[in-house]
Structure 1
């Protein structure tokens, strides 16, 4: 099928060619995601796979690191695509078929997977797969908002309890901080609204990039240190490069802290006595 899509796009021009190559792009992405899932399956099938789940670098982390290196993406992006691929294979075979045929794009597929995560009933899943594939097979282009609303409407039709589960998760949002005894470190776990989490992610990146390129810390370390800046009201990180010509060091962090001193007016009006001159050198 893929070869025929490429051949059709190659032989077309204008709008027909653009449509053809758009389908080729989506179909190629579908095979890319499927290949990621195959990589994970191979690792899980290997001898000693169960033991590696207790290692510092478990099966999932090893596969996402491998995918990231091969696909030239971050491990986080690889993890997200891998989750989508697993959901397509295990939960949405008809949607996966449309994706493989190039009839729907990856952003639409990702929206289907993420917004339907709370659908757990097998019968509801089959009905959802059927209705999603039917609704989006010949669907005209939709904005992100309309796409999400269409998906949510179908989910509400096949499994109304899924929306209640999402509302329950929103009510349970929280931030937990665990202080590690004696290490000087702490662990933070949180469940936030997606908009707030995205804003926090962008803010941490922005603060992490306020130092010069010679700063010795990694990006992850600077993002962690950015929490210090956030909690203390600072507008930037202190650069640790130690060079004399560092431009970032010329603009130290501003915390916006105002110090008020309470004193009598006569203290402010008093003038210090002129100190005696130093004795002459003998």
Structure 2
């Protein structure tokens, strides 16, 4: 099994045992040939504390519950990711980095052992709970793993840690859009500019970048126009500032129910529609 084989049979073997093994292998090959690919949307904070996990979990639950889209969240934080906590999910055994370590034998059955299911219909592959797990991530593992996942969902939302780690850079190269989530603070806006300039130097197309302004207030000390002038492009989306409602949703672990009548929910429903989701 460590050598990468996906089936082994013990002698003496019966005819039915052999046929079942062949059917399983054939089923895996058939799965790889499915033509549909999910939208792969990455979300990264300009700095810590911009509310990326909150936006991703609420949007994911909205896509799954209100739009009936098969939606997966991948928590790509190398340690201490909070997506599972925000969704109130505690029953899971494995994390995404372990999935990448095993991508050479990845099939539908193995994938299911990594997924935590939320009551909204949303699926999650969580991040590691600690920072002491050894990892053997080979070059290309991020792209290979997501290529497999894209055949099975309508939307995949990736909750990325701030910064430009090797995993983040590979993710950015292969996603459909990178949403840089910021707030109306000088330090965060400076980091948006730094990120966009660096990624442009890495020859990642500028049109792939989308800036999401979280906790937006109409009477902010820094106007929307000043923000757009600073970052050198239009703000793609503005999420209203309803901090108390969002904290309540996090504490309750149910973004859809806790925010059902809030402006945040209405806003994210419009965002889901802008991404191509239809009820």
Compute the TM-score of the two structures, normalised by the length of structure 2: 0.23
Higher relative contact order (CA 8 A, sep 6+): 2
Query: What TM-score do you get using the length of structure 1 for normalisation?
Result: 0.23
Richer in helix (by share): 1
Q: Max radius of gyration: which structure?
A: 1
